[in-house]
Amino acid sequence: MDTGNGTRLNKKKPTSKDESNYEEREDKLEKEEMEKESRYGKHYKWVALTNTTLGALMAAMNGSILLIALPAIFRGLNINPLVSSNFGLLLWLLLGYNVITAIFTVTIGRLSDMFGRVKLYNLGFLIFTIGSIALYISSLYITGVDGALSLILLRLFQGVGGAFLFANSTAILTDAFPHTMRGRAMGFNQIAAVGGGLIGLIVGGLLAAIDWHLVFLISIPFGIAGTLWAYLELHEIASIEKDQKFDIPGNVLFAAGIMLILLGLTYSIVGYNGNPTGWGNPFVYGTIIAGIVLMIPFAYIELKSKFPMFRLQLFKIKAFLFGNLSLLLAGIARGGLQFMLIIWLDGIWLPLHGVHFSKTPFDAAIDLIPFMMGFIIFGPISGYLSDRYGARLFSTLGMLINFVGFLALAALPADFSYILFAIITFSLGLGQGLFSAPNTTAIMNSVPENTRGSASGMRSTFTNISFMFSMALFFTILILGMSTELSTALYSGMVNAGIPANASMQISKLPPTAALFSAFLGYNPMKTLLPASVYSALPNSTKTEVTGLSFFPHLLSKPFMDGMKLVLYIGSGMALIAAIASALRGKRYIYGIEN
């Protein structure tokens, strides 16, 4: 039976010895909390919450802030990102930050257990701020391909700082808050970590409309303030064990393996040799296989190491195992969904409702606000309630709501009623809000104090990897689902509109990636796909028709929805399995109160 105050009791009647041991542990924890308040101040935990929430918000926002601003950025750099030679620049500017955070979070989490979580968190804020300043300066003075390469390298550097923030924020909160208040703290922190992604879309769109350089400037004042605040006000509460050693072989193998896997996943969405995806590219499957192979000696080393960087023994803790498994599955279900919904809105729904292609990226971010609101409202509520009743009920219910939400989205037509869309996306945000804070709290509550940095890094790594895997999986399914029908639809639609058959055949054979990314970036897809010589020779009436707001969306609708339904069905399956994994975590468990 769950007592609601941080303990878990067996069904049999507890003995006087059990009650005595429990009371001793509670007294010890209460004494430790009083010592913390005496040493660091009664309000220190709220200082830790606000600063780590700012750090999580900035790190999450910068993972998505460029999505809506990319067209303005590439125009400012004088580069066409849809030219095949420049597509790699687009891909790395879009995803490089997320790749770096996925690679380094576990290593940083382990280092924080060795040298101090606050110390490395502060260093991360400093690195992040330096990267932000350098990005802004680079955007002012370097253009062309050199400018894009400079921004990519500096985004990777900034991503290292983001990894420091991601890896340590939940560990610092777990140290600062008593077990009876961690859920509500995680609820507010997770709003920043998850909601920051959507906030980044909106902020990026607003700033890019004014001046694209501001997209890089916005992080600087918050970064400076957060860095100074962290160095002045945060304290190292956790006791750090001495004489720990850094697992160099394990770290090298893990970083190399994850980097190879993520490289393969990243390039899997790029067409190869006439194929709609990159899965036939030797580089793609070669890097993924090589990365998986490196994971074999890595696992062996970690099992044998006295000081492992990836603490596999933590998976013996049931709450930790099923908490991270449900997190991984939920991340795969949700990670690529936002990207798919933006393409749906950009390429079909918004143009059909009179929004010019150049304005669709920002409008798409606005139309996704119901998702963010669902998360913002229910994230703190579920965190607060999980302090009393544990994570299993709320996290499992959240994934079941997402399961239903995915199926509801799959039932919508291409040109849907926005009210229905808003209700469904709000419910998806609600489900994610119910899941996130309780699950994070349960994971961090289940581990010993001296492993919280590693546990936080592992949790963040699963989050980042699930996002990258979800993007590759969903995009591949979407492209494969629509590739055959899109070619036929494009050809017949263009021929019927008066475009020469040869040109129509050539365009119809282009990989769907070109059409999807042009819509995603706010370019008129037909203007992008039609060769300039063909377009200039068309009668004005034909030009008006094929570049109008309804021509491309009507051609895209059926092929896109065929692929999108497959994506949503798989997402619903992942959410259902995540719900099962969440239910299997068992009753509430807090390390140190019940062993």
Residue 25 has a pLDDT of 61
In this predicted structure, the answer to whether residue 8 has a pLDDT above a threshold of 60 is no
Phi, psi (5° rounding) for residue 241? -70, 140
What's the confidence (pLDDT) of residue 20? Answer: 55
Query: Whole-angstrom Cα distance, residue 19 to residue 23?
Result: 6
Nearest to 390 by CA among 442, 437, 324: 442
Within 10 Å of residue 448's Cβ, how many Cβ atoms? 13
Dump pLDDT digits (tens) for 184-239: 888 888 788 777 877 887 888 888 888 999 999 988 998 999 999 999 989 888 77
- Beta-carbon contacts of 21 under 8 Å, excluding residues fewer than 6 positions away, are none
pLDDT tens digits for 18-51? Answer: 555 556 666 666 666 677 666 777 788 899 999 9
Q: Which pLDDT score is estimated for 24?
A: 62
Let me know: does 447 contact 314? Beta carbons within 8 Å: yes
More confident residue, 334 or 517: 334
Q: Any residues with CB less than 8 A from the CB of 31 and at least 6 apart, and which?
A: none
In this structure, what are the phi and psi dihedrals at residue 8, rounded to the nearest 5 degrees?
A: -130, 125
- Segment 85-94, tens digit of pLDDT: 777 888 888 8
Find, among 522, 553, 546, the residue nearest to 353 by Cα. 553
Nearest to 72 by CA among 200, 214, 197, 217: 214
Residue pLDDT, tens place only, 261-302: 988 888 887 777 877 778 888 999 899 999 999 999 998 988
Determine what percent of the chain falls in helix, strand and coil, rounding each to the nearest 5.
80, 0, 20
Rounded CA-CA distance 551/199 in Å is 31
Among 73-82, 292-301, 488-497, name the most confident range. Answer: 292-301
Cα–Cα separations (whole angstroms), residue 547 to 99, 508, 523 = 36, 16, 11
Distance separating alpha carbons of residues 568 and 262, to the nearest angstrom = 23
CB of 291 closer than 8 Å to CB of 264: yes
Distance from C-alpha of 65 to C-alpha of 201, rounded to nearest angstrom:
5
In three state form, how does the secondary structure of 139-189 look? HHHCCHHHHHHHHHHHHHHHHHHHHHHHHHHHHHHHHHCCCCCHHHHHHHH
Q: What does DSSP assign to residue 42?
A: T
Q: Which residues pair with 272 in a beta bridge?
A: 275
Average pLDDT, the chain: 85
Q: What pLDDT is attached to residue 29?
A: 62
Exposure on the CB side of residue 568, measured as CA atoms within 13 A: 23
Which tens digit of pLDDT belongs to each residue from 161-192?
A: 988 988 888 889 888 888 788 888 888 887 88
What pLDDT was estimated at residue 312?
83
Instruction: Answer yes or no: is pLDDT of 497 > 80.
Output: yes
Mean pLDDT of 334-355: 88
> Two tokens at 130?
């330096």
User: Which of helix, strand or coil describes residue 490?
Assistant: helix
Choose the weakest-confidence range: 68-72, 80-84, 92-96, 485-489: 80-84
- Which amino acid, residue 38? S
Residue 1 binned pLDDT confidence (cut-offs 50, 70, 90): very low
The pLDDT of residue 248 is above 80: yes
Dist CA 335 CA 581 (whole Å)? 18
Tokens of 256: 């190399």
Asked whether the predicted pLDDT for residue 387 surpasses 70, the reply is yes
Q: For residue 522, which of 558, 549, 487 has the smallest C-alpha distance? A: 549
DSSP lists the bridge partners of residue 2 as 8
Q: Cα separation of 184 and 385, whole Å?
A: 8
CA distance 249 to 259: 15
53, containing H or E segment: helix 44-77
Residue 534, token pair as written in the block: 């063909």
DSSP 569: H
Residue 82 is classified by DSSP as: T
Angle, CA of 22, 28 and 30, to the nearest 5°: 100
Q: Could you give the 3-state DSSP secondary structure of residue 8?
A: strand
User: Tokens 């830790």 identify what position?
Assistant: 48
What gap in Å lies between CA 377 and CA 94, rounded to an integer?
29
Q: What would the pLDDT profile of 559-570 be if each residue is shown by its tens digit?
A: 889 889 999 999
pLDDT of 27: 61
DSSP summary character for residue 85: G
| Interatomic CA distance for residues 276 and 480, integer angstroms | 7
In contact, 234 and 227? CB cutoff 8 Å: no
Measure the CA angle with vertex 317, ends 311 and 323; round to 5°. Answer: 90
Task: Identify any residues that bridge with 275 across adjacent strands, giving them in sequence order.
Answer: 272
CA 361 to chain centre: 19
Q: What pLDDT sits at residue 17?
A: 53
| Nearest-angstrom CA–CA distance, 138 and 453 | 34
DSSP 346: I
Check: CB of residue 295 under 8 Å from CB of residue 257: yes
- From residue 428, alpha-carbon distances to 338, 361, 370 in Å are 11, 21, 9
Asked if 322 contacts 314 with a C-beta cutoff of 8 angstroms, the reply is no
The pLDDT of residue 14 is above 60: no
